[in-house]
Amino acid sequence: MNIRAAAVIFSIVLTVWLQPAAAEGDPQLGKEQGFTCLGCHGIEGQRNAYPSFRVPRLGGQKSAYVEAALNAYRAGTRPHPTMQAQASSLSDDDIDNLVAWLATYGEAKDSATAEQVAGVEAARICVTCHGVDGAGVQPAPPTLAGQHEDYLVHALNRYKAGERTGNVMGAFAATLTKADIELIASFYASQDGVQTLK
């Protein structure tokens, strides 16, 4: 190999190597900024006032989903006045940093087994995306295991009412009865999974 070819290859390798990975945030900056988030997401059992439901657990939630949720609140496409206010002033870098900080809590696995789900008729379709079989599904479906029961009910009702749109969930929630929603919510809430931030 001549010197010029070697130099070209070396510079390509160096460029690739020096390139920061896409959307890599700084977890330390995220932690500082995330201090306000802990006022709700870091208090076990903290409630949203109207309607009353417990603030969703974020510890162990999938990074791609957290990022999508923050973008949706910021864009105003996902309704919730408080979270929209929290997200409205965030830059793309702020979101990357918050996501990097939350990723330090690790990623919880949906721990439902096929046998357990088989006992919950209405949840069988759900595990295609949310659960043991759901790895690699795009866009990243959130982890439901370990989530607060009343938050899951609230979220499913929002999809059913067409208030949280722009994703696949409207079609799945539309088929669920009130009893299905209660059964599914208590099923996922009883699993090990996401946790309140510490």
| Binding-site ranges for ligand HEC (CB under 6 A) | 34, 36-37, 39-41, 48, 55-56, 58, 66, 68-70, 78, 80, 82-83, 86, 98, 125-126, 128-130, 137, 139, 141-142, 144, 152, 155-156, 164, 167-169, 172, 176, 184
- Closer to ligand HEC by Cβ: residue 11 or 36: 36
Instruction: Provide the 10 A C-beta neighbour count for residue 68.
Output: 17
CB within 8 Å of 143: residues ≥ 6 apart: 60, 61, 62, 65, 107, 108, 109, 110, 130, 193, 194
- Distance between CA atoms of 5 and 49, rounded to whole angstroms? 66
Minimum Å gap between C-beta 133 and ligand HEC is 10
| Widest distance between CA atoms in the chain | 73
Contact 191, 146 (CB under 8 A): yes
- Closer to ligand HEC by Cβ: residue 7 or 137: 137
- Closer to ligand HEC by Cβ: residue 7 or 166: 166
Minimum Å gap between C-beta 22 and ligand HEC is 20
- Closer to ligand HEC by Cβ: residue 112 or 152: 152
For 13, 14, 45, the CA distances from 7, given in Å and listed in that order, are 10, 10, 60
- Closer to ligand HEC by Cβ: residue 11 or 177: 177
Minimum Å gap between C-beta 152 and ligand HEC is 5
Minimum Å gap between C-beta 160 and ligand HEC is 10
Instruction: Provide the 10 A C-beta neighbour count for residue 70.
Output: 21
Minimum Å gap between C-beta 162 and ligand HEC is 12
- Distance between CA atoms of 174 and 161, rounded to whole angstroms? 8
Instruction: Provide the 10 A C-beta neighbour count for residue 180.
Output: 16
